[in-house]
């Protein structure tokens, strides 16, 4: 399969404690195992940009909340990419996993408003984990990665 025929999954994460980073890596490993033909790119939010969104067919976000709102690292990513992405009409399916210290609801609402501005559509149920992730949360991250990759490969979204 040539690069132009393969599907591309971008995983963007922000993590200060390491929790969301570990979950993002678990999702990446599961996506690769489930759909080895899907090309993966896993990047810190500070390293990801418009070119990465142009490259991908779908994106997964792993992020915390800070003080009940979107973490600054993710907000910076959205600030840097918003206008270039909407100018190019890069409509992408996305999924989100938040590992938070609070309930994550306000940060999720903020993300949903931002995604609406991008004209992106959420294609999976958002996952919110409060506190230190355990086995169940890692399984959910793996399911999200594998399921999202399968959806891209099958052309479902």
For 103-144, write each residue's pLDDT tens digit: 999 999 999 999 999 999 999 999 999 999 999 999 999 999
The model carries a pTM of: 0.95
CA distances from 132 to 34, 65, 68, 101, 137 (A): 26, 13, 17, 8, 9
Give the domain ranges of the chain.
8-154
At residue 18, does pLDDT exceed 80? Answer: yes
* Stretch 17-24: mean pLDDT: 97
Compute the distance between CA of residue 133 and CA of residue 40 in angstroms, rounded to an integer.
23
Phi, psi of 5, rounded to the nearest 5 degrees: -90, -25
CATH homologous superfamily for the domain 8-154: Flavodoxin domain (3.40.50.360)
Residue 26 is predicted with a pLDDT of 98
Percent of the chain, pLDDT > 70?
97
């Amino acid at each position: 399969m040539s690069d132009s025929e393969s599907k591309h999954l971008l995983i963007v994460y922000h993590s200060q404690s390491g929790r969301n980073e570990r979950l993002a890596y678990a999702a990446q490993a599961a996506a690769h195992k489930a759909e080895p033909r899907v090309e993966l790119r896993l990047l810190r939010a500070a390293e990801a940009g418009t070119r990465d969104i142009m490259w991908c067919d779908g994106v997964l976000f792993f992020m915390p909340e800070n003080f009940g709102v979107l973490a600054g690292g993710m907000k910076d990513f959205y600030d840097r990419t918003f206008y270039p992405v909407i100018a190019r009409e890069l409509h992408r399916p996305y999924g989100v996993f938040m590992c938070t210290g609070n309930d994550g609801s306000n940060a999720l609402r903020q993300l949903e408003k931002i995604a609406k501005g991008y004209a992106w559509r959420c294609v999976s149920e958002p996952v919110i984990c409060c506190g230190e992730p355990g086995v169940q949360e890692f399984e959910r991250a793996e399911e999200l990665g594998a399921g999202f990759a399968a959806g891209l490969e099958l052309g479902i979204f």
